[in-house]
Amino acid sequence: MIIVMQPAAKEEEVQHVMTRLESAGLGVHLSKGQFRTIIGAIGDEELVRNLGLEALPFVEKVLPITKPFKLVSREFKAEDSVFKVGNCTIGGSQLVLMAGPCAVESEEQLLAAAEGVKAAGAQILRGGAFKPRTSPYSFQGLEEKGLKLLARVREKTGLPIVTEVMDQHTVKLVAEYADIMQVGARNMQNFYMLRELGKLQKPVLLKRGLSATIEEWLMAAEYIMAGGNHQVILCERGIRTFESYTRNTLDLSAVPVVKYLTHLPVIVDPSHGTGNWRFVPAMSRAAVAAGADGIMVEVHPQPEKALCDGAQSLTIERFTSLTKELSQLAAVMGKYI
């Protein structure tokens, strides 16, 4: 249920409603918009109805949230969620470019990639310290050493870093280094890990699962938000279909659908969505045109020597050309890089 306060409701009146809800054993989440304050009550709807909140003069109305995802929905919060990561604004009028290598291989490789993508216009550095791979014999990442290299390169370049967390046991470790915690597609429904991420006050980038519906994806985001962490970024990275010419099928229709259903920012990963660098620029442009708040692109100084996903990685030169195109397109969409 959501309790919509009157526009002129005072702070003590908002607190009064929250106290009554908490006394009834309900979970309470506050959302302050430009014109309205909304209080989300999580729990038995009958308990909310029995409190008689609509009789209070400073309460405008009490409404049920019809979607299975509550805190994620626009019924709970009509305005877009916007939050800062370093000097970058996610979810607003800035088009966010997250770029860097699939995996951290060495300090030289990571620094070259970071300096290259920053010069091209990227605001956030991506790089994997832990690499979940289909084959146990493939490169698995440098783990904590990779996290330390990411932190070192952040100091040199000033770029915030986004990197993947593998399970609930590594959440605290990764949180020591990362500015944004990434949940990979295979972990989208790792509910134990999602609960741990909900305890943080740090942005979480939640990738859509390989075969997940949009509702399942948003319910995964609900797990994080229900824990108290409302800084969630959704990432469409392609789903598994019968098509074999691309690594996955990039579902760009998910962007406007999700923007309609939820207030959370959504970005697109065309590198994993296609699996081929040749198609990444076109899908990046299409993502921006579809209304995405940003893109996540794999960039490597020497893709032919990459230890993983070289085939879908752009060179620094190609990424530089792409950002010039996206800058022009962003302006048409009312955004800037």
Give first-to-last CA distance, the chain, whole Å.
38
Mean pLDDT of 7-16: 93
Mean pLDDT of 107-114: 97
Residue 188, exposed/middle/buried by CB under 10 A (0-12, 13-18, 19+)? buried
Query: Does the pLDDT of residue 131 top 80, yes or no?
Result: no
Percent of the chain with pLDDT over 70: 100
What's the confidence (pLDDT) of residue 66? 82
What's the confidence (pLDDT) of residue 258? 98
158: left (phi over 0), alpha (psi -120 to 50) or beta: left
Is the C-alpha dihedral spanning 198, 200, 205, 207 positive or negative? Answer: negative
What's the confidence (pLDDT) of residue 193? 98
- Angle ∠(29,3,223) on CA atoms, nearest 5: 35
Q: What domains are there in the chain, each with its CATH number? A: 2-63 (3.30.70.1140), 83-332 (3.20.20.70)
Q: Report d(CA 5, CA 38) in Å as an integer.
A: 6
The pairs formed by 316-323 with CB atoms below 8 angstroms and a separation of 24 or more are 316/112, 316/113, 316/116, 316/117, 316/120, 318/277, 318/281, 319/99, 319/116, 319/117, 319/120, 319/122, 320/116, 320/119, 320/120, 321/281, 322/280, 322/281, 322/284, 322/297, 323/97, 323/120, 323/121, 323/122
* pLDDT one-digit tens code per residue, 291-331: 999 999 999 999 999 999 999 999 999 999 999 999 999 99
DSSP state of 209: P
Answer whether 177's CB lies under 8 Å from 150's CB: yes
Mean pLDDT of 168-179: 96
Mean pLDDT of 276-283: 98
Answer whether 125's CB lies under 8 Å from 157's CB: yes
Residue with tokens 């690594």: 247
What's the confidence (pLDDT) of residue 32? 83
What's the confidence (pLDDT) of residue 31? 84
Write the CB contacts of 224 (distance below 8 Å, at least 6 apart in sequence).
Answer: 194, 197, 198, 204, 206, 232
* pLDDT one-digit tens code per residue, 61-86: 999 888 889 899 998 898 999 999 99
Query: Does the pLDDT of residue 140 top 90, yes or no?
Result: no
Closest-CA residue to 17 (of 45, 43, 54, 46): 54
* pLDDT one-digit tens code per residue, 200-211: 999 999 999 999
